């Protein structure tokens, strides 16, 4: 039985910052951000968007009534959770009106969370072939104003329906994974910005990739010639280039050209959104599928997932016949094209406009946020969300 991605969608908040302007404000050569790091725009979440609402908006765009009935497992990968106890997925379950006969959980392992969700979903479908699983990856990447990681922030969510007989990507069974206790990136529970050793994280990312790639080759007998494309977790788009460079000499000149060209297509959306942590690999996959028109049915795509701390995994999928019909390319291009640009001053104001952490009541103005689902306030220590179409 084939199991894999039947539907995939994403959502990014309606505000963005031009990286050239951030560079000028930080007295940095703009080419460092746009070429050296590889980012053009950074998505910025207004106070009315958190990981829950971002994921709900991403899922809203792909689910039909049948999916809502069939989904019996919701797995939410995030490292921007809103509660130490209650799963962010339970809010989504209600906001989307899913069948109550479902399991719902939140999964955390830095940017690896959504991959853990996909692998769990695969096992669930193998046991229950009629089920569908909703896997979400949503995050707001915050390093801090003027920090070393500032140029690699972002916000957004990816939603995927995992099922039997998937219409987009069938996941193959071989998979190579690795865990090691490393302090390259973490966020203590008292901090709303991440701690990071940027150079160490780059180094570990590449060594994890090399290690799982070698393990995968031994397991599968495959080499670069068997891959049409390899998608990477992209904390910033240059990272994918660095990782691919570590292995592309193993193939022919033709393999190298193909993989480099497809990597370019897989960076298009990420360049305009920034880091969305758990969703980044899947945003990159979506970018490849929607922005590389020459990709053929039957193409094998490699996927490298890396969650600092650290867990890495390399696994693969095969594009299904007619997969292109099930993409929403126009909607995704529109979503990115219709965003509002913020000045650097306005970005700093939005960045510092955070929710109270002392339990006080707040009512938020949601009309200026075009998202269908938004955070409308907090009272009695509870977050309240509004689904504007259901008001
Ligand atoms: N034109 C073109 N490229 C330039 C440049 C210029 N004027 N100035 C610098 N660069 C290049 C550098 O050569 C470097 O390229 P390389 O990485 O291929 O060597 C790149 O821009 C970044 O420069 P660097 O000096 O290393 O930047 P930094 O000290 O600001 O750190 C990160 C960059 C990504 C490490 C930092 O933003 C960070 O910590 N981000 C968060 C952590 C993260 O995303 N980790 C990834 C793994 S999960």
- Of all protein residues, whose CA lies closest to atom 36 belonging to ligand 1? 149
Please, which residues bridge with residue 249 across strands? none
| Average pLDDT of the segment spanning 243-263 | 97
Return d(Cα 201, Cα 196) in angstroms, integer: 8
pLDDT given at position 154: 98
The catalytic position among 14, 40, 93, 111 is: 111
pLDDT given at position 252: 98
- Of all protein residues, whose CA lies closest to atom 9 belonging to ligand 1? 32
Query: Does the annotation mark 111 as catalytic?
Result: yes
Atom of ligand 1 nearest to the CA of 235: 44
CATH placement of domain 3-169+327-390: 3.40.47.10
73-101 pLDDT tens trace: 999 999 999 999 999 999 999 999 999 99
> In terms of C-beta density within 10 A (0-12 exposed, 13-18 middle, 19 or more buried), how is residue 161 classed?
buried
- Of all protein residues, whose CA lies closest to atom 40 belonging to ligand 1? 149
Averaged confidence pLDDT in the chain:
97
| Domain chopping of the chain, boundaries | 3-169+327-390, 172-322
How many angstroms separate the alpha carbon of residue 365 from the centre of ligand 1?
A: 37
CB-based contacts of 234, cutoff 8 Å, min separation 6: 240, 266, 267, 270, 275, 280, 281, 283, 284
373-379 sheet: strands from edge to edge? 362-363, 373-379, 382-387
**Residue 26 C-beta-side C-alpha neighbours within 13 Å:** 22
Atom of ligand 1 nearest to the CA of 29: 7
Return d(Cα 172, Cα 168) in angstroms, integer: 13
- Of all protein residues, whose CA lies closest to atom 43 belonging to ligand 1? 198
Query: Does the annotation mark 334 as catalytic?
Result: no
pLDDT given at position 390: 84
| Average pLDDT of the segment spanning 278-303 | 98
Return d(Cα 166, Cα 320) in angstroms, integer: 8
Length of the chain: 391
| Average pLDDT of the segment spanning 296-308 | 98
CA-based nearest residue to 15, from 45, 40, 41: 45
Residue 32 Cβ inside 6 Å of ligand 1? The answer reads yes
The catalytic position among 14, 93, 233, 332 is: 233
pLDDT given at position 224: 98
Residue 391 predicted with pLDDT over 70: no
Helix H or strand E encompassing 53: helix 51-60
Return d(Cα 58, Cα 12) in angstroms, integer: 8
How many angstroms separate the alpha carbon of residue 36 from the centre of ligand 1?
A: 6
Residue ranges of E strands in the chain? 3-11, 15-18, 41-44, 71-77, 103-107, 132-141, 154-164, 169-179, 185-186, 195-196, 229-232, 300-307, 311-319, 340-341, 362-363, 373-379, 382-387
How many angstroms separate the alpha carbon of residue 274 from the centre of ligand 1?
A: 14
**CATH class of the domain defined by 172-322:** alpha beta
Residue 237 Cβ inside 6 Å of ligand 1? The answer reads no
| Average pLDDT of the segment spanning 204-210 | 98
Return d(Cα 17, Cα 154) in angstroms, integer: 10
| Average pLDDT of the segment spanning 314-332 | 98
- Measured in degrees and rounded to the nearest 5, phi and psi for residue 305 equal -110, 135
CA-based nearest residue to 370, from 75, 79, 11: 11
pLDDT given at position 42: 98
Sign (positive or negative) of CA dihedral 145, 148, 336, 331:
negative
Residue 44 predicted with pLDDT over 80: yes
| Average pLDDT of the segment spanning 11-37 | 98
For a mutational test of ligand 1's pocket, the pick from 23, 24, 28, 32, i.e. the residue with the most ligand atoms closer than 8 A to its C-beta, is 32
**Residue 132 C-beta-side C-alpha neighbours within 13 Å:** 21
Return d(Cα 373, Cα 375) in angstroms, integer: 7
How many angstroms separate the alpha carbon of residue 356 from the centre of ligand 1?
A: 33
Residue 148 Cβ inside 6 Å of ligand 1? The answer reads yes
The catalytic position among 79, 106, 150, 313 is: 79
How many angstroms separate the alpha carbon of residue 205 from the centre of ligand 1?
A: 14
| Average pLDDT of the segment spanning 37-56 | 98
- Of all protein residues, whose CA lies closest to atom 3 belonging to ligand 1? 36
- Of all protein residues, whose CA lies closest to atom 30 belonging to ligand 1? 148
Give yes or no on whether 3-169+327-390 and 172-322 have one common fold.
yes
How many angstroms separate the alpha carbon of residue 42 from the centre of ligand 1?
A: 16
- Tell me if residue 377 falls in helix, strand or coil: strand
Question: For residues 222 and 247, is the Cβ–Cβ distance under 8 A?
Answer: no
Atom of ligand 1 nearest to the CA of 31: 1
pLDDT given at position 306: 98
- Of all protein residues, whose CA lies closest to atom 29 belonging to ligand 1? 148
149-174 pLDDT tens trace: 999 999 999 999 999 999 999 999 99
Residue 357 predicted with pLDDT over 80: yes
Atom of ligand 1 nearest to the CA of 201: 47
CB-based contacts of 210, cutoff 8 Å, min separation 6: 246, 247
Residue 251 Cβ inside 6 Å of ligand 1? The answer reads no
Q: What is the percent of the chain where pLDDT is above 70?
A: 100
Rg, the chain, Cα only: 20
- Tell me if residue 368 falls in helix, strand or coil: coil
Return d(Cα 135, Cα 12) in angstroms, integer: 17
């Amino acid at each position: 039985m084939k199991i894999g991605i039947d539907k995939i969608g994403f959502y990014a908040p309606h505000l963005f910052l031009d990286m050239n302007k951030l560079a000028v404000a930080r007295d940095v050569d703009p080419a460092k951000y746009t070429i050296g790091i590889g980012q053009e725009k950074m998505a910025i979440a207004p106070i009315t968007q958190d990981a829950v609402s971002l994921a709900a908006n991403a899922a809203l765009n792909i689910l039909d009534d049948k999916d809502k009935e069939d989904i019996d497992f919701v797995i939410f990968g995030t490292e921007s959770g809103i509660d130490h106890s209650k799963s962010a997925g339970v809010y989504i379950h209600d906001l989307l009106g899913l069948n109550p006969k479902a399991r719902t959980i939140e999964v955390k392992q830095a940017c690896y969370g959504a991959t853990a969700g996909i692998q769990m979903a695969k096992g669930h479908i193998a046991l229950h072939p009629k089920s569908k699983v909703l896997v979400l990856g949503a995050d707001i990447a915050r390093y801090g104003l003027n920090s070393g990681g500032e140029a690699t922030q972002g916000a957004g969510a990816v939603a995927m329906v995992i099922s039997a007989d998937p219409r987009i990507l069938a996941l193959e069974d071989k998979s190579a994974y690795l865990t090691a206790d490393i302090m390259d990136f973490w966020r203590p529970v008292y901090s709303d910005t991440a701690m990071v050793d940027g150079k160490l994280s780059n180094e570990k990312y590449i060594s994890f990739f090399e290690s799982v790639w070698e393990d995968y080759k031994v397991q599968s007998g495959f080499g670069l010639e068997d891959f049409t494309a390899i998608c990477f977790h992209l904390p910033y788009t240059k990272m994918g280039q660095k990782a691919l460079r570590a292995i592309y000499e193993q193939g022919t000149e033709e393999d190298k050209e193909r993989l480099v060209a497809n990597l370019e297509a897989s960076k298009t959306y990420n360049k305009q959104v920034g880091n969305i942590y758990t969703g980044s690999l899947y945003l990159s996959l979506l970018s490849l599928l929607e922005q590389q028109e020459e990709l053929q049915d039957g193409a094998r795509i490699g996927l490298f997932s890396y969650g600092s701390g650290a867990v890495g995994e390399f696994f693969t999928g095969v594009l299904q016949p007619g997969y292109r019909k099930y993409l929403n390319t126009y909607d995704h291009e529109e979503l990115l094209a219709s965003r509002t640009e913020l000045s650097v001053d306005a970005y700093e104001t939005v960045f510092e406009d955070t929710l109270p952490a002392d339990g006080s009541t707040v009512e938020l103005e949601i009309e200026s946020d075009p998202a269908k689902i938004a955070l409308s306030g907090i009272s009695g220590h509870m977050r309240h969300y509004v689904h504007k179409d259901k008001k």
